[in-house]
Amino acid sequence: MKPQPAISLDEARRDLNRKIMLRIVPFLFVAYVIAFLDRINIGFAQLQMKSALGFSDAVYGLGAGIFFLGYFLLEVPSNLLLMRIGARKTFARIMACWGIVSACMAFVTTPTMLYLLRFLLGAFEAGFFPGIILYLTFWFPASRRATVTSWLFVSVAVAGVLGGIISGVIMQYTAGLHGLAGWQWLFIVEGLPSVALGGLALWILQDSPSEAKWLTEEERQLLARELEEDQNAKRHVASGSLRDALFNSRVYLLTAIYFTLTCSTMAVSFWVPAMIRAAGVTDVLHVGLYSAIPYGIGSVGIVLISRHSDRHRERRIHYSVCAIGGGIALSTVALFSGSLPFVLGLLSVVVVLTFSALPIFWSIPQDYLSGTGAAGGIAIISSLGILGSFFSPAMIGWIKSTTGRLDNGLHVMALLTILGGIAMYFALNDQPRVDAKLA
């Protein structure tokens, strides 16, 4: 009869995890879908925007990438501000501001305006993603975090699916409406919903479990015990202060690895429409529909691979396999650039592997950091690593303008991603395993 209490405790933990998931994850999921749409819709807009405004591939690539310079400069302050004023106000501010700026992209007429608005978009969105990663540590123990985080990256895949379809429809059928081009309506229609989401954040989210009236006192205590067990389990490796994070060599190793991963994910996010057009698809609606295919397949793969990582309580090897395999597939895309079936098939492999590597990666920093150290460390990794997202589209655009070939840039990004996978496997071999029981 003795095993019964343990079974009951596991059931209570599963029920609590499910309750928290249903309360906060759907909102964060939708918010990140909108965020990613506003971030990458320039990839579809450029199909009309470049010719309408006379922009080169280099101008487009720099404009796409400069978003991440603004993101880089304000990400750490934004994440530290979250610890001070709470998640609700931080997320509300971020979403309202980026929605307004995204809609203003419709009125770009010069490269300078493009660079300025994309920079501001990145500055206002800074802190949103690392803030979510930090926010999840307030609600979920480490043993469940990769699965929960995976839903954020499923939202990226969903944004890719919806972005392709919605962008194609908007650009095809709104052209000329009220004197605006299709690409202009794209920015307006996809930007304004973020402002409404900012208001909803104040109503739906709570800053911590202690403020959640929808949890019972027993549930709050159970969650507090789970999170305390997490802290005790990683105390021998975790750093708790901002100073510890700043001088933790693992933080900068993870930063370099994240840089290489974003090089491939942003190569896909900003250049998939161009790859599909290069494969012989000229109609903008069809480009959007075909662009949805890799992301649709990727959304399934992200969940399956993340669940496998959680089930085996292992991150390092899972990440390395995904990064190395995704890099090889990205490089191979360039070899079949004239064949639409091969391009779509290989892009699907790239999305499945590289986007699956993201939630696995973001389950690793918390094993070494806690408290203020986690807030600062996660922001350092994200803000410095995200510079790969500036480097990737800007470099690919410059290479394409210089050589007339997109594939040369893809080879460079693929190589960096492979090197990051190798670094994770050999250099980060002291990662502690997650010992908490899984539901």
In whole angstroms, give the CA distance from residue 26 to residue 231: 27
Q: What is the pLDDT of residues 181-208, one digit of tens each?
A: 999 999 999 998 999 999 999 989 988 8
Contacts of 290 (CB under 8 A, 6+ apart): 164, 276, 281, 340, 344
Highest mean pLDDT among 105-114, 299-308, 424-433: 105-114
Average pLDDT over residues 330-334: 88
Tell whether the model's pLDDT for residue 68 goes beyond 90: no
Q: What is the pLDDT of residues 17-40, one digit of tens each?
A: 889 989 998 999 999 889 888 888
Per-residue confidence band for 420, with pLDDT thresholds at 50, 70 and 90? very high
In whole angstroms, give the CA distance from residue 259 to residue 255: 6
pLDDT score, position 327 = 95
Tell whether the model's pLDDT for residue 66 goes beyond 50: yes
Tokens for 160, please give them.
Answer: 């890719």
Sequential DSSP letters for 177-214: GGG--HHHHHHHHHHTHHHHHHHHHHHH--SSGGG-TT
In whole angstroms, give the CA distance from residue 162 to residue 38: 12
CATH of 9-427 among 3.90.700.10, 1.10.3720.10, 3.60.20.10, 1.20.1250.20: 1.20.1250.20
In whole angstroms, give the CA distance from residue 136 to residue 124: 21
Tell whether the model's pLDDT for residue 438 goes beyond 50: no
Average pLDDT over residues 323-333: 94
Amino acid in the structure at residue 411: H
Tell whether the model's pLDDT for residue 9 goes beyond 80: no
Question: How many CB atoms lie under 10 A from the CB of residue 207?
Answer: 17
pLDDT score, position 96 = 93
**173-187, 229-243, 346-360, 406-420, range with the lowest pLDDT:** 229-243
The alpha carbon of 282 is separated from its chain's Cα centroid by a whole number of angstroms, namely 29
Query: Which is higher by pLDDT, 144 or 345?
Result: 345
Q: What is the pLDDT of residues 219-231, one digit of tens each?
A: 888 888 888 877 6
By residue count, the chain amounts to 439
List the end-to-end C-alpha distance of the chain, in Å, as a whole number: 21
Q: Quote the DSSP letter at residue 47.
A: H
Q: What is the pLDDT of residues 294-326, one digit of tens each?
A: 988 888 888 899 889 888 888 899 999 999 999
pLDDT score, position 431 = 53
pLDDT score, position 337 = 74
Average pLDDT over residues 100-119: 95
pLDDT score, position 321 = 96
Q: What is the pLDDT of residues 276-291, one digit of tens each?
A: 888 888 888 888 889 8
Q: Please, what sign has the CA dihedral across residues 63, 67, 73, 74? A: positive
Tokens for 228, please give them.
Answer: 């305390």
pLDDT score, position 382 = 80
Region of 166 on the Ramachandran plot (φ > 0 left; ψ -120 to 50 alpha; else beta): alpha
pLDDT score, position 223 = 87
pLDDT score, position 439 = 34
pLDDT score, position 295 = 87
pLDDT score, position 245 = 65
- Of all residues in the chain, the percent with pLDDT exceeding 70 is 90
pLDDT score, position 212 = 86
Tell whether the model's pLDDT for residue 437 goes beyond 80: no
- From residue 286, alpha-carbon distances to 32, 177, 180, 252, 277 in Å are 25, 21, 21, 42, 9
Domain ranges of the chain: 9-427
Per-residue confidence band for 76, with pLDDT thresholds at 50, 70 and 90? confident
Average pLDDT over residues 100-123: 95
pLDDT score, position 1 = 46
Three-state DSSP state, 238? coil
pLDDT score, position 435 = 40
**47-61, 105-119, 317-331, 377-391, range with the lowest pLDDT:** 377-391
Query: Which is higher by pLDDT, 149 or 218?
Result: 218
Average pLDDT over residues 253-267: 93
pLDDT score, position 436 = 36
Strand ranges (E), 210-365: none
Per-residue confidence band for 430, with pLDDT thresholds at 50, 70 and 90? low
In whole angstroms, give the CA distance from residue 267 to residue 117: 21
Tell whether the model's pLDDT for residue 416 goes beyond 80: yes
